[in-house]
Amino acid sequence: MQSTRAFRCPFRRILLLMLLLSAFRPLYAQGTGYVEKHYSKSEHMIRMRDGVRLFTEVYVPRDDSRQYPILLKRTPYGLGTYGASRYKATLGPSEAFGREGYIFAYQDIRGKFRSEGSFEHHRLYTPDKAGPGDIDEASDAWDTIEWLLNNLCGHNGRVGMWGISYPGWLAVMAAIEPHAALKAVSPQGSPGDQWIGDDYYHNGAFRLMYAFDWTWQCAQVREQPTEREVGPFDYGTDDGYRFFLDLGPISNVNERYFHGRIPMWNELIEHWSYDGYWQAKNVLKDLNGIRIPVLNVVGWFDAEDFYGPLGIYAAIERTTPSNRNYLVAGPWGHGGWAYSSGERLGSIRFGSDTADTYRRQVELPFFNFFLKNEGNPDLPEAFVFETGANAWRSYDSWPPREAQTRRLYLQPEGGLSFRRPSAGQSRESFDSFLSDPADPVPYTTEKRTTQGHLWMVEDQRFAAARPDVLVYHSEALDREVRIAGPVIADLYVSTTGSDADWVVKLIDVCPDGFQMLLAADVLRGKFRDSPSRPRPIVPGRVTRIRFSLLDKHHTFLEGHRIMVQIHSSWFPLIDRNPQTFLPIPEAVAEDFHSATHRVYHNPLHPSSLIVPLLEHGPQ
């Protein structure tokens, strides 16, 4: 019988259309009537130091009996309410902010929608600005705040910023070079390093499906400011797996569809290694001396930007450990803390409205305290949700200091245990599979053309049944196993090719057989030793690879099993590896070859997952 604390192991998949829709619209919106009754709206073209003007909407409370702080959101995704008579249905990060009373400002960044200038994807930060022509997102935020302070009435002189995804990154940039009035920021689901582990590459593996969709819709060159940009790509099918397989090598994207007209796509495929282009865009290197309070927010099941928020939090901890730097991690997909109740994700239930808890107990008190001097949020440094146990936990650091690393070793015949392979075990113990680029392992059973997010907790039995997926699992657990922190794959492998991708998944197997995906990531083999200096794999030689599946806080309940799956394609989430050492963007159809891969589990080559265990239950 299952614990009432645990997530419910489903007897069937419940993927309702209404849940998908609710994931992308704010809950409990006040409605435009409420907002219009209580706020006056104005539109402005705010001039930056180089003369470019940025379109900005401002909502000011009609009650002028007191002063209000300003909450600013900057975005490349458009405001959607252009025109002085069109009002947003919800103001601020959640419905509570509109009722609380703030001045809200929303801005199109340069080169997007109704703002002037040219768009540059994640424009580089310029620390030493010699003149008005040296601009970046930090300076644009500074200039915007200065204008708001000088031109709006009724403010209290304090400004906060927040944003999800790209707007979250813009909040980070503002904190690097903050205006004196900027008193608190909340980057939520922000990218940090888009080659190592965020939107476009993961350890060198190109995230084909997401990059194709984002660059088509968000990075095309425009001729002039506009209220509407390019719409969704017409795939001509609802089967993304078949569309991208029929596409062939990724060089065909330009030949057939983009025709070289999307500069960002060209940059993504040109810079396929961790070269100066990506190193310069890594925001983590710029987080030195952050002195304003930061509320970092991430979803455990964020399919876009999971690496970034953890990296941003950790970078600030390293460089300014005395700063008030908070981390919130909950059981959400990308932005789910703002656009859902957080009670469930797909068919997995979490026992409470986790996003409501965050919005009510953390987000609003954070901004009220630092922008209004109201209340005392008494926030723990890390407020994180423990899946499996389905409970919020508070820690004074993340990962928790009490977590101790242990190794889960792969065993012969599909076993998995904390026991290291013994000396008496065969020195040649390994498993092998044939990886065929013409028949790649799908990342989901959903028929879709865009990435989606429910695959992050999807039942993995569809993959376990394939001959090109290795499966290892423990015996049924006789006690709970709790993990808190980063999960590291440490494998000994070989291949008959000269390159290979390695996908590793950590899975919670419920008593009814449901295989809940918990953590997963991929390493492109040519980058096993260096992200900047790819080199071929020697065919047949045992090679050690090590990479992070990033952090989790989860309890494997008594009676459950711990599972690891390993395979070499994850399509079309990740582009296909030809399994031949070469720049993959230059590959042609003839370069793709099948290869036999081995994973070793013997005393000399003990493949394992390194997991951070909490030996004792919560106090």
**Confidence at residue 617, expressed as pLDDT on a 0 to 100 scale:** 52
In terms of DSSP H, where are the helices of 420-507? 461-464
Structure tokens at 550: 């990033």
User: Is-contact 306 332, C-beta < 8 A?
Assistant: no
d(CA 219, CA 229): 9
CB-based burial of residue 128 (10 Å sphere; 0-12 exposed, 13-18 middle, 19+ buried)? exposed
Q: Determine the straight-line distance between the first and last CA of the chain, rounded to whole angstroms.
A: 24
Q: In what order do the strands lie in the sheet with 53-61?
A: 39-47, 53-61, 103-108, 68-75, 155-164, 182-188, 294-299, 325-330, 382-386, 391-395
Provide the pairing of β-strand 294-299 with 325-330.
Answer: parallel
Q: What is the CATH number of domain 404-614?
A: 2.60.120.260
Cα–Cα separations (whole angstroms), residue 312 to 282, 393, 412, 433: 10, 21, 40, 38
- Three-class SS state of 141: helix
- Whole-number pLDDT of residue 426: 67
Cβ partners under 8 Å of residue 117, min gap 6 = 48, 52, 54, 110, 111
Dihedral sign, Cα of residue 410, residue 413, residue 414, residue 417: negative
**Using an 8 Å Cβ cutoff, are 274 and 285 in contact?**
no
Helical ranges in 31-164 per DSSP H: 32-38, 95-100, 137-151
CATH 2.60.120.260 domain residues, the chain? 404-614
Whole-number pLDDT of residue 20: 33
* pLDDT beneath 70, residues of the chain: 1-30, 423-427, 616-619
Q: What is the pLDDT of residue 22?
A: 35
Contact 511, 559 (CB under 8 A): yes
Q: Count the neighbouring beta carbons within 10 Å of the beta carbon of residue 202.
A: 27
- Residue for token pair 């997995």: 348
pLDDT of residue 25: 40
**3-state secondary structure string, 594-613?**
CEEEEEEECCCCECEEEEEE
**Residue whose C-alpha is closest to residue 178's, from 219, 214, 155, 144:** 144
Which option is the CATH number for 17-24+32-193+282-395: 3.40.50.1820, 3.40.50.720, 2.30.30.100, 3.50.50.60? 3.40.50.1820
Residues of the chain within CATH 3.40.50.1820 domain(s) are 17-24+32-193+282-395
Single pTM value for the model: 0.93
pLDDT per residue over 329-344, tens digit each?
A: 999 999 999 999 999 9
The pLDDT, as a whole number, for residue 137 is 98
Contacts of 120 (CB under 8 A, 6+ apart): 111
Contact call for residues 60 and 152 (beta carbons, < 8 A) = yes
pLDDT at residue number 84: 92
Count CA atoms closer than 13 A to 529's CA, side-chain side. Answer: 9
pLDDT score recorded for residue 17: 31
Query: Would you say 292 and 171 are in contact if contact means Cβ atoms under 8 Å apart?
Result: no
